[in-house]
C-alpha cells in the first residue's frame, strides 16, 4: 500500500437490516436509520451499532425523555407497548423514574411496578458510560450518545433474554452538553 494514500482510506462498514444492506457513514447515522426503519432489525446489527456509539456522562441524561424501541423481535417490544411506555425521567443521579407510562389523557406517570433507579458510570461491552441501575430489580440500562437529543439504550438483565434495544429522545431543551 502506498503510504501517501493511507490517510484517504476509509473503512466501509455495512449495516445488515435483514434483506437490506446499508453502508454506515457513522454509527450515529446508522442508529438514527434504525429508529426510522419499518423493517425488523436483527439484534446483532443493533448491538454492532450500539457498540460503536460514544459514551455519555450521567449529567447528559437529566430531564424527561420519550422512549421507543428498536423492533428486533425481543419479548419486551410487545411488553412495553402493552404498558404504554412513555419514557424515563432523570431528576438527579440518585432519583430516576425508570419506567414512565402514559396514563389517562396521555399524562406521564410512574409505572409503580418498575420502581426507582439511579445513574452511575458502568463499563459495559468495553465502554464506560452512563447506566441506569434499578433499585429493586436485576436490571441495568446502558446508554450511548446518538445526538444532542437522542440516546441509544441496551438492557442488561437476568430477567429477560439479552438484547433489548431502545432509545430515548429528549422532551425538553438539553440540560447538559457532551
Is 27's pLDDT higher than 60?
Answer: yes
Is 35's pLDDT higher than 60?
Answer: yes
pLDDT of res. 22:
56
Same domain, 68 and 152: yes
Alpha-carbon distance values, 30 to 24, 66, 89, 114 (Å) = 6, 20, 26, 30
pLDDT in tens, 129-160: 999 999 999 999 999 999 999 999 999 988 88
Is 175's pLDDT higher than 50?
Answer: no
What is the C-alpha to C-alpha distance for residues 60 and 37, in angstroms, rounded to an integer? 26
DSSP code string of 13-68: EEEEETTEEEEES-HHHHHHHHHH--S---HHHHHHHHHHSBP--GGGG-EEEEEE
Inside any domain, residue 176: no
Residue 93 confidence class, pLDDT cut points 50, 70, 90: very high
Same domain, 98 and 166: yes
Same domain, 75 and 35: no
Inside any domain, residue 1: no
Inside any domain, residue 136: yes
Inside any domain, residue 77: yes
Is 119's pLDDT higher than 80?
Answer: yes
Q: What angle do CA 174, 99, 71 make, to 5 degrees?
A: 85
Inside any domain, residue 3: no
Same domain, 148 and 69: yes
pLDDT of res. 24:
56
Same domain, 107 and 48: no
Same domain, 39 and 68: no
Residue of 157, 133, 131 lying closest to 144 (CA atoms): 131
pLDDT of res. 170:
98
- When pLDDT is averaged across residues 113-136 and rounded to a whole number, the result is 96
* Domain extent for 41: 10-52
Same domain, 122 and 43: no
Same domain, 44 and 131: no
Same domain, 106 and 37: no
Inside any domain, residue 2: no
Query: What are 55's three cell numbers?
Result: 459514551
Inside any domain, residue 82: yes
- When pLDDT is averaged across residues 171-175 and rounded to a whole number, the result is 62
For the chain, the domain total comes to 2
% of the chain residues with pLDDT over 90 = 72
Count H helices and E strands in the chain, helices first.
Answer: 3, 11
Same domain, 44 and 112: no
Same domain, 108 and 161: yes
pLDDT in tens, 47-75: 999 999 999 999 999 999 999 999 999 99
Q: What is the pTM of this model?
A: 0.82
CATH number at residue 110: 2.40.128.580
Amino acid at each position: 500500500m502506498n503510504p501517501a494514500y493511507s490517510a484517504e482510506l476509509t473503512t466501509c462498514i455495512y449495516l445488515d437490516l435483514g434483506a437490506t444492506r446499508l453502508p454506515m457513514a457513522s454509527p450515529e447515522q446508522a442508529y438514527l436509520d434504525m429508529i426510522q426503519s419499518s423493517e425488523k432489525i436483527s439484534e446483532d446489527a443493533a448491538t454492532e451499532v450500539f457498540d460503536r456509539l460514544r459514551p455519555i456522562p450521567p449529567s447528559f441524561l437529566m430531564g424527561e425523555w420519550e422512549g421507543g424501541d428498536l423492533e428486533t423481535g425481543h419479548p419486551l417490544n410487545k411488553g412495553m407497548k402493552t404498558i404504554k411506555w412513555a419514557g424515563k425521567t432523570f431528576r438527579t443521579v440518585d432519583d430516576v423514574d425508570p419506567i414512565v407510562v402514559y396514563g389517562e389523557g396521555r399524562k406521564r406517570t410512574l409505572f409503580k411496578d418498575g420502581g426507582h433507579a439511579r445513574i452511575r458510570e458502568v463499563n459495559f461491552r468495553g465502554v464506560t458510560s452512563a447506566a441506569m441501575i434499578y433499585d429493586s430489580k436485576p436490571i441495568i440500562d446502558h446508554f450511548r450518545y446518538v445526538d444532542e437529543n437522542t440516546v441509544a439504550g441496551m438492557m442488561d438483565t437476568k430477567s429477560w433474554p439479552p438484547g433489548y434495544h431502545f432509545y430515548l429522545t429528549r422532551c425538553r431543551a438539553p440540560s447538559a452538553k457532551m
